[in-house]
């Protein structure tokens, strides 16, 4: 084995890693924004309101991410409306196709995480909102969402790590993310073991940084919450 | 005495799946009344209290607050609020203290007390803060105002919950077994606060198992049994010479 190639190509691998981080960061932020209304609609008692998010979540969780990427990348160009729209310059870029696919995919998982967190808030705390005469909107803004934020953190951190690993699929549509870059280097140097080991190491470091950040935020956020256990309100 | 009751409940029924838990309960509370509601576990005390501000939708009945009847509409088998605005308005004026405190754990004690007046009633921040501090002082928790609920004992949490309720300046306060979740040595501090409120002339409906407290502070005592008012009257009447045999048995077993 010859690890001098790793030293030589390390800057290129870091370039690829930076693209991976961008893909993940952009899609989890956008994904969370998309997830919030979907989660709220999913909680609704009304079938007309929860029907769409139900199907949306079912589709994106039930099909492979790779298929979703291909659908956006190859599928979008099939439609004249898309090719003629002002969005075409964006939709034709593999980079943005990957972000769109990742965003849609992670939003489905994140919506379920949000829903779980909101529904895990003890019923008594919700009733405490009702008895002071809060409207639904006030209840969500002032109590349920801030409260859910603390509950959501561990699962959400986990979803970001999954997204990081899934982002390697971006390399299948010509993006030079960490995996894509590694494959390009290997095509030139024929040293797959060394380069993939190095790429794997970089993925690990990024994961560890994400975990560390979430641990910190969680510790701060849940400092005074005790254990966020799911308590059943008593019916004395 | 032509003054209308502050709160009037007429013929409240509640059926859960196939069990009729409340079988027609009526009650009037005038300003300054302290009404204790007694009864064994499962007799429907909580359900009745929760029907008053629609935490539970009654199956039948009428709720009149300050002479204004709460608009209800059929929703399945039950009656639900027909006018959410009216309901939230009414809830703002009727306090509710839970057995399990239900403070918001992500907010400090002070924030818990300020939340309602500041964000629901939208009163000026400084005024709300001063009043919240005054109330925390009154319930003896002023030194804990920057702590979080989970850092407090049960008795302290319940006193904060009472301050949170008072911060809304409610016209009537409903208490659902406020001391039942507390260790015995912490019960006294909460009852002390409630006794003070009774002396101030607050209108209160109190579900409780604290018999000597009920006897001492109540203007009226109601004994519920299997969803009906089995006995009702002055504390002296109910505790010393109840008509109902069941009431007598209940009192001798617990008091
Ligand atoms: N949400 C509910 N669903 C079904 N049954 C309930 C519910 N809440 C209370 N009950 C039943 O109604 C009866 C009265 O309960 P409750 O009002 O809590 O009594 P109390 O407060 O006097 O102990 C009990 O038999 C209880 O099991
Ligand atoms: Mg009860």
- Note the pLDDT tens digit of each residue in A5-35: 999 999 999 999 999 999 999 999 999 999 9
Determine the longest span between alpha carbons in chain B, in angstroms.
55
pLDDT in tens, A106-140: 999 999 999 999 999 999 999 999 999 999 999 99
Please compute the mean of the pLDDT values over residues A192-202 and round it to a whole number: 96
How many angstroms is it from A93 CA to the middle of ligand 1? 60
* The total number of structural domains that make up chain A: 1
**B39, B75, B104: best to mutate for the A interface, most A CBs within 10 A:** B104
To the nearest whole Å, the CA of B219 is away from the closest chain A CA by 25
How many angstroms is it from B82 CA to the middle of ligand 1? 24
Question: Chain B residue closest to A135 (CA)?
Answer: B88
Please compute the mean of the pLDDT values over residues B185-204 and round it to a whole number: 95
pLDDT band of B43, cuts 50, 70, 90: very high
The predicted structure's pLDDT at residue A229: 42
The predicted structure's pLDDT at residue B92: 98
If you ran DSSP here, which 8-state letter would residue B80 be given? E
The percentage of residues in chain B with a pLDDT greater than 90, rounded to a whole number, is 96
pLDDT in tens, A136-188: 999 999 999 999 988 898 899 999 999 999 999 999 999 999 999 999 999 99
From the list B55, B103, B151, the residue facing A130 with the nearest CB is B55
The predicted structure's pLDDT at residue B127: 97
SS3 state at B88: helix
Contact between chains at A225 and B119 (C-beta distance less than 8 A): no
Q: Any idea what the Cα angle at residue A81 is, between residues A75 and A87, rounded to 5°?
A: 80
A232 touches chain B (CB under 8 A): no
For residue B237, give Cα distances in angstroms to B132, B233, B240. 39, 6, 5
How many angstroms is it from A79 CA to the middle of ligand 1? 59
Structure tokens given for B81: 């609020």
CATH code of the domain covering residue A114: 1.10.3720.10
pLDDT at A233 over 50: no
For a substitution probing ligand 1, which of B12, B46, B76 has the most ligand atoms within 8 Å of its CB? B46
Mean pLDDT of chain B: 95
A40 lies in which domain range?
Answer: 4-221
Residue A139 domain flag:
yes
What ipTM score was computed for the predicted complex, to two decimals?
A: 0.94
Task: Please answer whether residues B37 and B25 qualify as being in contact, where contact means their C-beta atoms are separated by less than 8 angstroms.
Answer: no
The predicted structure's pLDDT at residue B79: 97
From the list B101, B120, B151, the residue facing A134 with the nearest CB is B120
Residue A60 domain flag:
yes
Ligand nearest to the CA of B55: 1
From the list B101, B168, B180, the residue facing A132 with the nearest CB is B168
Q: Any idea what the Cα angle at residue B233 is, between residues B229 and B239, rounded to 5°?
A: 95
C-alpha B104/C-alpha A124 separation (Å) is 9
pLDDT at B179 over 70: yes
The predicted structure's pLDDT at residue A112: 95
Residue ranges near ligand 2 (ion) with Cβ within 5 Å: A 236; B 46
Measured from the CA of B176, which atom of ligand 1 is nearest?
21
Residue A93 domain flag:
yes
Based on the number of CB atoms within 10 Å of its own CB, is B62 exposed (0-12), middle (13-18) or buried (19 or more)?
A: middle
The predicted structure's pLDDT at residue B1: 52
pLDDT band of B177, cuts 50, 70, 90: very high
Residue A235 domain flag:
no
Residue A229 domain flag:
no
The predicted structure's pLDDT at residue B251: 92
Residue A212 domain flag:
yes
A153 touches chain B (CB under 8 A): no
Pocket of ligand 1 (CB under 6 A): A 235-236; B 16, 21, 39, 41-47
pLDDT at A232 over 50: no
pLDDT band of B255, cuts 50, 70, 90: low
Angle between helices A4-43 and A178-189 (to 10 degrees): 150
B59 touches chain A (CB under 8 A): no
pLDDT in tens, B206-220: 999 999 999 999 999
Determine the longest span between alpha carbons in chain A, in angstroms.
72
pLDDT at A226 over 60: no
pLDDT band of A220, cuts 50, 70, 90: confident
Please compute the mean of the pLDDT values over residues B180-203 and round it to a whole number: 95
Residue A9 domain flag:
yes
Q: Any idea what the Cα angle at residue B93 is, between residues B129 and B78, rounded to 5°?
A: 135
The percentage of residues in chain A with a pLDDT greater than 70, rounded to a whole number, is 95
**The whole model's pTM is what?**
0.88
Residue A190 domain flag:
yes
**A117, A122, A125, A128: best to mutate for the B interface, most B CBs within 10 A:** A128
Range in A36-50, B47-61, B70-84 with the lowest mean pLDDT: A36-50
Contact between chains at A224 and B105 (C-beta distance less than 8 A): yes
* Nearest CA owner, ligand 1 atom 2: B16
pLDDT in tens, B102-147: 999 999 999 999 999 999 999 999 999 999 999 999 999 999 999 9
Please compute the mean of the pLDDT values over residues B188-193 and round it to a whole number: 95
The percentage of residues in chain B with a pLDDT greater than 70, rounded to a whole number, is 99
């Amino acid at each position: 084995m010859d690890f001098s190639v790793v030293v030589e190509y390390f800057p290129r691998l870091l370039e690829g890693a930076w693209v991976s981080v961008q893909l993940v960061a952009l899609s989890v932020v956008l994904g969370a924004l998309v997830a919030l209304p979907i989660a709220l609609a999913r909680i609704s008692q009304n079938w007309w309101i929860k029907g769409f998010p139900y199907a949306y979540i079912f589709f994106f969780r039930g099909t492979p991410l790779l298929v979703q990427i291909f659908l956006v990348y190859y599928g979008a160009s099939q439609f004249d409306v898309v090719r003629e729209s002002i969005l075409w310059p964006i939709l034709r870029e593999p980079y943005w196709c990957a972000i769109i696919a990742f965003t849609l995919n992670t939003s489905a998982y994140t919506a379920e995480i949000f829903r779980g967190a909101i529904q895990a808030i003890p019923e008594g705390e919700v009733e405490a909102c009702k008895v002071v005469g809060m409207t639904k909107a006030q209840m969500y803004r002032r109590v349920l969402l801030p409260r859910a934020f603390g509950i959501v953190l561990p699962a959400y951190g986990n979803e970001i790590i999954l997204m990081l690993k899934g982002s390697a699929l971006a390399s299948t549509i010509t993006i030079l993310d960490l995996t894509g870059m590694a494959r390009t280097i290997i095509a030139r140097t024929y040293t797959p073991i060394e380069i993939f080991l190095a790429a794997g190491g970089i993925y690990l470091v990024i994961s560890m940084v994400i975990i560390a950040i979430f641990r910190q935020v969680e510790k701060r956020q849940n400092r005074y919450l005790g254990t966020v256990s799911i308590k059943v309100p008593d019916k004395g | 005495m032509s003054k209308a009751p502050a709160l009037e409940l007429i013929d409240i029924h509640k059926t859960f799946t196939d069990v009729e838990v409340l079988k027609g309960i009526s009650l009037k509370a005038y300003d300054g009344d302290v009404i204790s509601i007694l009864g064994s576990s499962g007799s429907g005390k909580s359900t009745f209290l929760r029907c008053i501000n629609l935490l539970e939708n009654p199956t039948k009945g009428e709720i009149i607050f300050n002479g204004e009847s709460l608009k209800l509409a059929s929703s399945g088998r039950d009656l639900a609020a027909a006018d959410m605005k009216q309901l939230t308005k009414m809830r703002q004026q009727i306090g509710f203290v839970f057995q399990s405190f239900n403070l918001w754990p992500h907010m400090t004690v002070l924030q818990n007390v300020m939340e309602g007046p500041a964000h629901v009633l939208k009163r000026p921040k400084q005024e709300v803060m001063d009043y919240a501090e005054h109330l925390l002082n009154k319930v003896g928790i002023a030194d804990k105002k920057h702590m979080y609920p989970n850092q407090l004992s049960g008795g302290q949490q319940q006193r904060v919950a009472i301050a949170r309720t008072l911060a809304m300046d409610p016209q009537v306060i409903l208490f659902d077994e406020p001391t039942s979740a507390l260790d015995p040595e912490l019960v006294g501090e909460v009852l002390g606060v409630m006794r003070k409120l009774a002396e101030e002339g607050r209108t209160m409906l109190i579900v409780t198992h604290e018999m000597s407290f009920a006897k001492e502070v109540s203007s009226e005592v109601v004994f519920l049994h299997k969803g009906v008012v089995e006995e009702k009257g002055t504390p002296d009447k109910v505790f010393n010479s109840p008509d109902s045999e069941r009431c007598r048995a209940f009192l001798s077993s617990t008091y």
